[in-house]
Amino acid sequence: MTAPSNTLQVQPLSPALGAEITGADIRRDGDAEAVRAAFVEHQVVVVRDQVLTPDEQIAFACRFGPINVNRFFQAMADHPQIALVIKEPEQKKAIGERWHTDHSYDAVPAMGSLLYAVQTPPVGGDTVFASMAAAYEALSEGFRATLHGLRAWHSSRHVFGAARAADETGRDGRIGNPGAAKQDACHALVITHPLSGRRGLYVNPTFTLRIDGWNEDESDALLGFLYAHCARPEFCCRVRWAPGDLTMWDNRATWHKAINDYDGHRREMRRITVEGVPLD
């Protein structure tokens, strides 16, 4: 195995999560392993200045596990493992504008995603991430004890189902296959991360429906508090994109959302999602 490049540097993006990696070439074994180590430590890594073919992006993703072929996103021609995340200049709605955790509706949620920037606007189009471990650790000991043992239901139906057809991203074909939106899963509200061992919250405003065994008012009150708490800026980092950047995030440890502030400009990204393991 090759050693990491002598120029590879890892610089944290914020105290809570995230790191920027420069001087790397993820096609090299040593650099790829260094990126993997930074990913475990920082939950989100953005690797600058990569020149990747679709096959090279797929090969790097496979270092982390089997690829999850997305059910709903438009796929890249000849590479079904790659989902396209595109916003054309005339389109108004971006994909993923609300805080969410990819695939929390699956019984075995995806490990993470790798998003590669092909074309970006001259300014804007950033992605914001939030650390669910930092958010959990900032809660009082008594409140954390209250959360342990609770479980919450997640679903794909209300996001990717029939209602999507009326949404701009459904009408223009960026999101489709609503008949496949049949996933429901009940997960622990507090999980132990399978790689880092840190405890973190596992609910999100997009896919989480309710707390198991609670009535609607009770569930909405607690989830609303947690959502506001998790979005606090001290738990967040922000990734500013340029063509050739590859950002990886851990779905078991983070939220993310796209900032839609670049109307009139084109943004094209290639996303690969990697399978995960059962959570507890």
Catalytic residues: 100, 102, 256, 271
Here the tokens at position 48 are 């600058």
185 - beta bridge partners? 154
Closest CA to 186 of 144, 232, 227, 219: 219
CA atoms within 13 A on the CB side of 177: 10
User: How wide is the angle at C-alpha 65 spanned by C-alphas 62 and 66, nearest 5°?
Assistant: 80
Read off the DSSP letter of residue 17: S
User: How wide is the angle at C-alpha 246 spanned by C-alphas 240 and 27, nearest 5°?
Assistant: 150
Ramachandran category for residue 8: left, alpha or beta (phi over 0 → left; psi -120 to 50 → alpha): beta
Helix/strand/coil for 102: coil
Here the tokens at position 252 are 């078991």
